[in-house]
Structure 1
Amino acid sequence: MILRRGVVSCTRTNMYRYRSISISSKQFSVDDRKNLPSRKLFEELTEKAYMQEKFRSSGRKPFETLVENPIIVKRFFAKELQCEEIVYPELMTKENSNEFNKTTSKIMEYLKETNTHESKQFETLKQLKLFGSNIPKDYDGQEYTNTERALIGEIETENVSVAMILNAHRLVSSTIYDFGTDQQRDKYLPKLASGEIVGTIAFKEWNASETLALNTRAEYENEDGLWYLNGTKSCVVNAINANVFLVLAQTKISDRQGDKKSSLTVFIVDDSLPGVKIHPKDNTIGTSDWNLARVTFKDVELTTDAVVALAGTGNYLEHRIKVHSRISEGITSLTQMKILFKYMLNMIESIEQQANNVSEGNESVTLRVIIGKYTCSIYALESMLYLTTGIMDKYDNTNIDLESAIFVTTAQDQLLHMTTDLLNFVDSRVTIDKHPMNSFIRNVIQLKFTEPNSEVKLSIAREGFHHRLRRLIEERKNQDFIVKNFKDDDELFKSFEPEMHAAIKNFNNSLTSLRWCATGIIELESKEEKGSRDPEMTQLADVASSIYASYASLLRANRSIKLKLPNAQEECIIAQTICDKNHENVKRIEESIQAGLPKTFQTFHKFVSYEMLRPEKQFPVHPLTRLF
């Protein structure tokens, strides 16, 4: 996927005033502001506060401020934990669980029967009412919780194409419900819930302008009170079957001073409107059933009723859509890992049955080690998923930006690594088109193009880094702040069963390392005005991801031990392994950042690239070149 610049950069730094996360320029002294990584941050926050006021003053759906939940990755950067709330969410009762299991069994059965035929597939999805799983019952939806949708998602994503089509549809319905007018909800939600109309997102473009975020533009004419939409969107999921598009367009909106400034706006566009053209399906490296296609809009007339939320709020809406889509994308990668895991288990049985020599036996042992490795990965991903959805269900309108970002990047990375490891054990038949692993590998590569992991990781690091910076300022002003917020091993031990204490020690040490990594980068920022800190920030995100995986695994295993679930001791071993491995990774990254290696390597690579790109093209000579 080719992303336009400056829009899906995932660098949002808290549009709203969270209880203990918000940052305002008034909170910092002049000396403090000099130490901040970017002065542009204050301009962004001021503009976002202005947009917040526009939301509140509008006659549309009442504005709801995002709240901070007590379990949040951002707090890890400052080593802040509330021990009394260290618990894995328990949201489903026995009765609800039994009833929901019947529903999921039915979904699994029907999806297997209609796995390949597209027309039957859509009819089945309608019968199962999956189109309306996230729509409230007031609008004829199922109103499943986030945890329930994640459970259903694990079934849906066995067929990647079905999952992506449903995800795009649900993003449309949830956006209209959360930010649309009553008129928009009444018009679209019941039909979206039943599957009578199908929605999808049209945000991406192949060729974005260097100066503007998007080439697709909407211009408002005061004389007739209409918006005129022009442009082309690319990689639109299920465009051929969609009836409603959420389109992100460049617009000119008056700012506080009355000056016209470029901004983004989201529109609801029906496929029946004159000027909407859906192109033939694009050929992709994988997941051909997604029906990715281009959609062109030429002088499409839209009334003000087609605007979602308010004109100029597209940046915020796009970010909220992206945050929620990450959960779905991560579930897709997790389910594909489970499919691949079953394939590996079958391979081991086949290899061991045919093992007649030492070489084949060694291959079996190696594969067993890999299976053990990805058992831990899948366990950690499952733990992160249901901890995150549990937080969303337990706390209204909560902020899960970092949790969702960590989940999707970890899931996609682990799926790619797992696929690569498996290639060492398959023969050349996998290169044949009809081989099942051929299409699987293609799908894995295609999934990596949903959103660049590097950008998402930078967004994780930036938000955590900024939180640590704010806390560092507070620590310097108030030494008691450190004693009040930091937890030692003894305090953490009280929240966990004795079997978990060894893992807890490594987890707490990892938290300390993350805190010092963030502090070290802040010190580098204050000393060096020039140069990018992206290499260190990416590693900082890797540290935070490892810690969240350890944390979720610890909570899950601790719950299993308390409830005396089957195989609870095995879960304890898995959680211990995850914590030990992640702690080693964290220590290695901490040492690398302290030594300045990421920055050093980046400097060397830039120097080499400058030499290679000089007009005289100073390529290294061939190693067998002789001067005689």
Structure 2
Amino acid sequence: MKRVILQKSNFLKQGVRAAGSKPIPDRSDSFVFGLFNGEINPKNIFPYPSVFNQEQVDELNELFSASFDAFDGTNEALENDLRGDLDPEMVQMLRDFGLFGMQVPEELGGLGMSNVQMARMSEIGGELDLGVSIYIGAHQSIGFKAILILGTQEMKEKYLPLVASGEKIAAFCLTEPSTGSDASSVQTRAVKQEDGSYLMNGGKIWITGGGIADIFTVFAQVPVQQEDGTIKDKMTAFIVERDFGGVTHGAPEKKMGIKCSNTAEVYFDDVRIPAENMIGEVGEGFKVAMEVLNSGRYGMGATLNGTQKGLIKKATEFAANRTQFRDKIYKFGAIQEKLARMHAEQYASEAVSYLVANAMDHKTENYHLEAACGKIFASERAWHCCDETIQVMGGMGYMFEQGVEKVMRDLRIFRIFEGTNDILRLMVGLQGLQYTGQQLAPIAKAAKSPIANAPTLIKFKMDQRAKEKGSKTAVNDLKQYVDPALHPEAQKVGEAITRFEVASKKILQKFNKDIINQQFHVKRIAEAAIELFASSAVLSRATAAQKHPTANKEEEILLAKTYIFDSLKKIHGALDQLTEQDESHWKNMAELTEKMVNADSPVLGAHPTELIHK
């Protein structure tokens, strides 16, 4: 077998540069970046945001209820799954409620929603049918998002009314056979013509809406002649209309889940694109793609909040009515552990996604690590919630008619969509460590002249030792934002933040620039960061509930305590693995993988029947 080489994607390459090679950026509006330096950046997390007045809340709830009822009354989720398509009546209902253009400005035919409002509305599809959710979500969260956030006014006026009404479906075309997480490896090409237009040739795979879309955001390499006469390809984004000619698609893909959302290959054969349909400038395609994906990720978390709620309802109702051994099964500890943990994790998932949506509404510059954490967190918590729901329901949960096994099939793609969770973890870890490296650059510089800079170096070492011993932590910084009922949890989270900072700096000092190759380490750093963010979000949300007149105050404290107890175990479990003993274990795993890939058969070792044969 040929040896497989893991390519480093641009996600990773942008994560680490030489410490001190650039001025330290201002990351004070990012909670996750702050964690890597042991700081509590409260701007977008404490206090938990209150963004609406009562009238706005009532209006949103009214729209939500009406849309939910119409969706529930019109949609047939299991039939959609079997048919692999949406009933025209359902599509029209989505149009009638404006759900194809939730964030398009009202003057251009949309609902003009904020990110927080769209998050709330996204819960409907998440709970009732993830296939439909993707049908409309991919259209607006990524399909025409580049036009919405980066397009010229002329682009917006031309295209947004068409996509907001649902008259035209939009699709996002990035993925190719050689282009997964490594977005820089796009092969589709767009060559500039004498009249200024571009001629595009190439193909894209696994495009959501590819077989029904009329408007595409397409990423292609544009060959540009350099000053020395050489040609360099520069990835660039274009708006392509099917009506331009030369745009075709393949048959609908047969998928594990989300079957009613169309997925197909899309081909571009001598497609002539007007120069004014370029989004941004030549060479800005990667930037455009990242802006769109970062902007769209929060919606996945919001959608999956609804999924978890629907699953919890099913599991709780079943447990409350199912009798075994002369008692309702919800009275058994094994079931109580499942139901309580499912609810606590949903509570945390919701806390995270709405913090990210609010940060985006406030034009926060550095929200992308939070968005990535939210996407990872929600997709994995929703999967766990579904798995446990099936377990609570037993054989009944496994049956097609109950709809839970469909949810499981639909959910599996969310850990792959818009950046796999594996790559996003590496992005979170590497970019956070890069920030730490920039903070440590003055210390590294001082170490080159230790005698002259002795006071600086001594103070740094004393601070680090104090933090390692636990005598200097983020406790006081965090407790000031938290309700007294949660002070014990805030103290433990603060101690974990300090331990996380120390561990991050040790890892960075050990590996320096080579940290990009230490994915075993980076994964665990990211895992701890994600849980620290989630626990802090829960502290903020539960604290805000204590000041709200209609909140379930005691229940929210209970949910917070339940979640944070489990989260702290995950945080310390991840950091506990950053030892030389674990590194030896990882080396064994790397060696084993090499042998599997290079062997005639990846299944190594003699079969047990051979060993027991005399």
What TM-score does the superposition give when structure 2 sets the normalisation length? 0.85
Aligned residues: 575
Q: 5 Å matches for 1:212-231?
A: 213-221=185-193, 223-231=194-202
1:92 alignment partner in structure 2: 52
Residue type of the alignment partner of 1:115: N
Q: 1:207 to 1:67 in 2, by over 3 A?
A: same
Q: 2: distance between equivalents of 1:22 and 1:89?
A: 36
**Paired residues of 1:381 and 1:549 also in contact (CA < 8 A):** yes
- The answer for unaligned runs of 5 or more in structure 1 is 16-20, 29-65
583, 589, 604: which is aligned to 1:605?
Answer: 589
More moved, 330-339 vs 516-525: 330-339
1:11 alignment partner in structure 2: 12
Match of 1:280, SS state, is coil
Residue type of the alignment partner of 2:192: Y
Post-superposition offset of 1:565 = 4.2
Q: Give per-residue Cα distances to partners, 1:201-247, cap 9 Å, x unaligned.
A: 121123559997123222223x3433111112111112233110111
More moved, 539-548 vs 417-426: 417-426
449, 452, 474: which is aligned to 2:420?
Answer: 452
1:366 alignment partner in structure 2: 334
Match of 2:244, SS state, is coil
Q: 2: distance between equivalents of 1:373 and 1:406?
A: 20
Post-superposition offset of 1:495 = 2.8
Q: 1:627 to 1:109 in 2, by over 3 A?
A: closer
Post-superposition offset of 1:362 = 8.9
2:299 alignment partner in structure 1: 328
2:380 alignment partner in structure 1: 413
Match of 1:290, SS state, is coil
Match of 1:299, SS state, is strand
Match of 1:225, SS state, is coil
Q: 1:122 to 1:616 in 2, by over 3 A?
A: closer
Post-superposition offset of 1:432 = 5.3
Q: 5 Å matches for 1:208-247?
A: 208=179, 213-221=185-193, 223-247=194-218
Match of 1:144, SS state, is coil
Residue type of the alignment partner of 1:459: M
Q: 1:531 to 1:157 in 2, by over 3 A?
A: closer
Q: 2: distance between equivalents of 1:380 and 1:345?
A: 19
Q: 1:590 to 1:449 in 2, by over 3 A?
A: closer
1:38 alignment partner in structure 2: none
Residue type of the alignment partner of 1:161: G
**Paired residues of 1:6 and 1:213 also in contact (CA < 8 A):** no
Q: 1:453 to 1:266 in 2, by over 3 A?
A: same
Q: 1: distance between equivalents of 2:242 and 2:7?
A: 28
Q: 1:427 to 1:281 in 2, by over 3 A?
A: same
**Paired residues of 2:174 and 2:186 also in contact (CA < 8 A):** no
2:409 alignment partner in structure 1: 442
Q: Give per-residue Cα distances to partners, 1:236-282, cap 9 Å, x unaligned.
A: 11223311011111222355767432221111111122211122211
**Paired residues of 1:68 and 1:399 also in contact (CA < 8 A):** yes
What TM-score does the superposition give when structure 1 sets the normalisation length? 0.83
566, 570, 579: which is aligned to 2:564?
Answer: 579
Residue type of the alignment partner of 1:436: G
Residue type of the alignment partner of 1:237: T
Post-superposition offset of 1:399 = 2.2
1:133 alignment partner in structure 2: 102
530, 546, 555: which is aligned to 2:531?
Answer: 546
1:113 alignment partner in structure 2: 73
Q: 2: distance between equivalents of 1:332 and 1:211?
A: 25
2:500 alignment partner in structure 1: 514
Residue type of the alignment partner of 2:483: E
More moved, 268-277 vs 616-625: 616-625
1:39 alignment partner in structure 2: none
More moved, 165-174 vs 615-624: 615-624
Residue type of the alignment partner of 2:344: C
Post-superposition offset of 1:370 = 0.5
118, 121, 125: which is aligned to 1:149?
Answer: 118
Match of 1:266, SS state, is strand
**Paired residues of 1:202 and 1:233 also in contact (CA < 8 A):** yes
Q: Give per-residue Cα distances to partners, 1:473-511, cap 9 Å, x unaligned.
A: 34565578979x987433433333321211110110111
2:449 alignment partner in structure 1: none
- The answer for unaligned runs of 5 or more in structure 2 is 77-85, 447-455
Q: 1:23 to 1:623 in 2, by over 3 A?
A: closer
Q: 1:429 to 1:27 in 2, by over 3 A?
A: closer
Q: 1: distance between equivalents of 2:381 and 2:310?
A: 13
Q: Give per-residue Cα distances to partners, 1:172-194, cap 9 Å, x unaligned.
A: 43311322223212211222222
38, 61, 65: which is aligned to 1:79?
Answer: 38
Post-superposition offset of 1:422 = 3.6
Q: 2: distance between equivalents of 1:179 and 1:211?
A: 19
Q: 2: distance between equivalents of 1:627 and 1:97?
A: 73
Post-superposition offset of 1:140 = 2.9
Q: 1: distance between equivalents of 2:393 and 2:551?
A: 34
356, 360, 369: which is aligned to 1:388?
Answer: 356
Residue type of the alignment partner of 2:60: F
Q: Give per-residue Cα distances to partners, 1:99-153, cap 9 Å, x unaligned.
A: 2211112211221222135211221122112222111233232221111111111
Residue type of the alignment partner of 2:303: T
Q: 1:9 to 1:341 in 2, by over 3 A?
A: farther
Q: 5 Å matches for 1:162-201?
A: 162-170=132-140, 171-201=142-172
1:50 alignment partner in structure 2: none
Q: 2: distance between equivalents of 1:435 and 1:489?
A: 47
More moved, 448-457 vs 402-411: 448-457
Residue type of the alignment partner of 1:265: T
Post-superposition offset of 1:550 = 0.7
Match of 1:281, SS state, is coil
Match of 2:517, SS state, is coil
**Paired residues of 2:20 and 2:441 also in contact (CA < 8 A):** no
Q: 2: distance between equivalents of 1:308 and 1:452?
A: 25
Post-superposition offset of 1:433 = 4.8
Q: 2: distance between equivalents of 1:319 and 1:515?
A: 27
Q: 1:613 to 1:153 in 2, by over 3 A?
A: closer
Q: 5 Å matches for 1:215-364?
A: 215-221=187-193, 223-254=194-225, 259-351=230-322, 354-357=323-326, 364=332
**Paired residues of 2:352 and 2:534 also in contact (CA < 8 A):** yes
More moved, 317-326 vs 569-578: 569-578
Q: 1: distance between equivalents of 2:563 and 2:94?
A: 38
**Paired residues of 2:31 and 2:41 also in contact (CA < 8 A):** no
More moved, 261-270 vs 412-421: 412-421
**Paired residues of 2:238 and 2:279 also in contact (CA < 8 A):** yes
Q: 2: distance between equivalents of 1:95 and 1:22?
A: 51
Q: Give per-residue Cα distances to partners, 1:401-438, cap 9 Å, x unaligned.
A: 11111111111112222333344344456555555233
1:35 alignment partner in structure 2: none
Q: 2: distance between equivalents of 1:254 and 1:69?
A: 40
Post-superposition offset of 1:577 = 2.7
1:44 alignment partner in structure 2: none
Match of 1:398, SS state, is coil
Residue type of the alignment partner of 1:25: S
